[in-house]
Amino acid sequence: MSAVGRPVDRVDGRAKVTGTARYAGEFAPPRLAHAALVTSTIARGSILTIDAAAAEKSAGVLAVITHVNAPRLPYRRMKERPAVDPPSGEALRVFQDADVLFSGQPIGVVVAETVAQARHAARLVRVTYDEARARTVFEPDRATPPSEATAEDGEPGETRRGHAVRALDEADVRVDATYVHPREHHNAIEPHATIAAWEGDRLTLWDKTQWVGNTRAVIAHVFGLPEEHVRVVSPFVGGAFGSALRAWPHVTIAALAARHVGRPVRVELTRRECYTSIGCRPHTEQRVALGARRDGRLTAVVHEATAQTSVYEEHAEETGNPARTTYACPNVLTRYRFVRMNTNTPTSMRAPGHVSGAFAIECAMDELAVQLGMDPVELRVRNRADRDEAQDRPWSSNELLACYRTAAERFGWAPSSWHPRSLRDGSILIGHGMATAIYPAHRSAASASATLLADGTALVRTAASDMGPGTYTALTQVAADALDLPVDRVRVEIGDTDMPKAPVHGGSMTMASVGNAVHTACENVRRKLGANARSYVEALRDHGVDRLEAIADAEPGDETERFSSYAFGAVFVEARVDADLGVIRVPRMIGAYDVGRVVNPKTARSQCIGGMVGGLGMALLERADWDARFGRVMNANLAEYLVPVNADVVEVDALFVPSDDRCFNPLGVKGLAEIAICGVAPAIANAIHHATGRRVRELPITVEKLLA
């Protein structure tokens, strides 16, 4: 019986719950010293003086490093900009000058024997500034288009098909509204940490990262080393959601500090520092204007997104893509603009762009359904796109209609009444809402090795990551089938640059990329052994070897140019709102997804439930309270930045519709991760409207906004 498709328990589950799984910050090279950051207290200006005398005299302190005494680092230009870095701008350089570009910028580091000593001494460093007027207010009026590089590689400043403005003017029915979501933070429970250890001019980094290969490349260039001199190890990642895609400044700081004190150094960001040092989802405002015929067919879509970025980099998101791609419409216009602010650069977070764009488009579609007096599911079915009209390509597969059907049926969607406030249970107003989710399926080149061992087990290695979705387990299943071995005879090792190269563990592409490489590596090693080999143990003995290894490189062909590949989903939710107090509960969330073949229904369901809970947070709780006076997040901690806890989550389920996309890749998977959060926030917003008649267009939807 094949392993793929079975709900296999997590192969790393025991290691995780017993604490033997080692995360980056838990490695302990001998003579390890600890670092604490000194961060700027102004949002813009330059450092005038740094008085480190008291810190240097403080107990246990080994060094205080700032731009005054830090070495000038080569910061060599990379031939190719990392795919996870913004296409234009320049990553922050650490301790190379006196400039301050945002509040919370690392401007120094204290190294000491213990974490407590380092953190205490960091507070003793006295800094004076020449403060300049900072841009800390989100002013859409001052927004500017992206540069050419960003437009080409990130989100275009403008896209058009047909004549959207004219079609909007001529439409029978129109919706025109602005949707806002605040800056949000990843808040993985594992804080970011890096341990750096030098041996001569060779550097080992234990780092929380979604891409060991990129961290190696970036740090090698920063220090002017050959890439082979840097090894990056990251076997487990305790959640990241995009925050560990880039090699952030603290990684450089760890390596710089370790070289300075001649000992291994560990940097662990504090929770507060996780709000200034690893990016965030940018504050974004979106105008959506829809035009439609009375039968619901869309005739015009206008989408204008304005998002914050930093003054030193352009982080753009594909916020316009759901507007361009989700529905059939001959006339579409999308625009993207930046508000450049004195903040750390935003970054990818949980379905960047698509989750934001879906919030706006799917709320607008609901507003249109209300105007038309039409079942919101029916409105979406009528506007279903038979092909990807934005890229003008056929889908490699598309089971969106099955998603609507499956989720609606499980939810018990009964389009009996579209009138708001028509369902109630005593003083509780009940609403039902839904939304569509789309997320592009990506695939990149990946490599893996498969080794058969004399004891009849196999070892599979690839430099991929597993930030929680179950990569270890799914790869084990793929290898077990390809090798015709039981799952417990296969061991998978990942997260080390010494292993065959893998792409970023992001953009939901790991299974489509690495999964196929593992599959091919296993086939290759079997072929090497001889087609007729029945028992690996005997065959190895016959060959006179105690191990046999094969490596495979797998990459996409031209199918990525001939077809458009997407994961799809439909989310249905029930919201209950206290008519007097405005308190919102979401007792039920049902999602149905087309993600291609499901390798492991158990981890897949877990992952989707996690993503949907993330969507619940986005809808009702998550918000960075940005204080424009200081350019600072005021609730930079898990007590005041709210995320859903168990008590907020009642019934959540994720279903998978039959799907198998061999057109996209031989394994038939499309990528399962970010699709799960897309569509949740608008489904909740729509359900709240249905319950209360109140259309709240700014997330999170709180009691205050409902009662206002």
Q: How far is the CB of 17 from ligand MOS (least distance, A)?
A: 24
Cα three-residue angle 666-668-669, rounded to 5 degrees: 125
Q: Rule CB under 6 A: is residue 380 a binding residue for ligand MOS?
A: no
Chain centroid to Cα 525, Å, comes to 34
Residues 201-220 that bind ligand MOS (CB under 6 A): 210
Question: Which residue among 313, 317, 622, 674 is the active-site one?
Answer: 674
**What letter does residue 114 receive in the DSSP assignment?**
S
| Amino acid found at 85 | D
Write each residue from 23 to 62 as x if it is in contact with ligand MOS (CB under 6 A), else as -, in one continuous string. ----------------------------------------
Q: How far is the CB of 150 from ligand MOS (least distance, A)?
A: 18
Measured CA to CA, the distance from residue 225 to residue 552 in angstroms comes to: 28
| Nearest residue to 212 (alpha-carbon basis) of 580, 493, 529 | 493
Q: How far is the CB of 664 from ligand MOS (least distance, A)?
A: 18
Long-range contacts from 96-101, C-beta under 8 angstroms, 24+ separation: 96/67, 96/70, 96/72, 97/67, 98/46, 98/47, 98/48, 98/67, 99/46, 100/40, 100/42, 100/43, 100/44, 100/45, 100/46, 100/47, 100/129, 101/44, 101/310, 101/311, 101/312, 101/342
Q: How far is the CB of 244 from ligand MOS (least distance, A)?
A: 8
Q: How far is the CB of 607 from ligand MOS (least distance, A)?
A: 12
# of chain residues touching ligand MOS (CB under 6 A): 10
Write each residue from 487 to 526 as x if it is in contact with ligand MOS (CB under 6 A), else as -, in one continuous string. -------------------xx-------------------
CB 306 within 8 A of CB 66: no
Q: How far is the CB of 509 from ligand MOS (least distance, A)?
A: 8
- 127 or 278, CB closer to ligand MOS? 278
CB 431 within 8 A of CB 176: no
Name the token pair of 237. 């990642």
Name the token pair of 221. 């260039």
Residues 339-368 that bind ligand MOS (CB under 6 A): 348-350, 352
- 146 or 503, CB closer to ligand MOS? 503
How many of the other CB atoms lie within 10 Å of CB of 28? 11
- 107 or 278, CB closer to ligand MOS? 278
Q: Helix 601-620 to helix 680-692 angle, to the nearest 10 degrees?
A: 50
Residues 151-210 that bind ligand MOS (CB under 6 A): 210
- 315 or 576, CB closer to ligand MOS? 315
- 155 or 366, CB closer to ligand MOS? 155
- 327 or 593, CB closer to ligand MOS? 593
Measured CA to CA, the distance from residue 467 to residue 452 in angstroms comes to: 27
- 211 or 536, CB closer to ligand MOS? 211
**Catalytic annotation present for 674:** yes
Q: How far is the CB of 210 from ligand MOS (least distance, A)?
A: 6
- Name which position in 242, 433, 468, 644 contacts ligand MOS (CB under 6 A): 242
SS3 call for 186: coil
Q: What is the binding site for ligand MOS (CB under 6 A)? A: 210, 241-242, 245, 348-350, 352, 506-507
Q: Which residues are catalytic?
A: 674
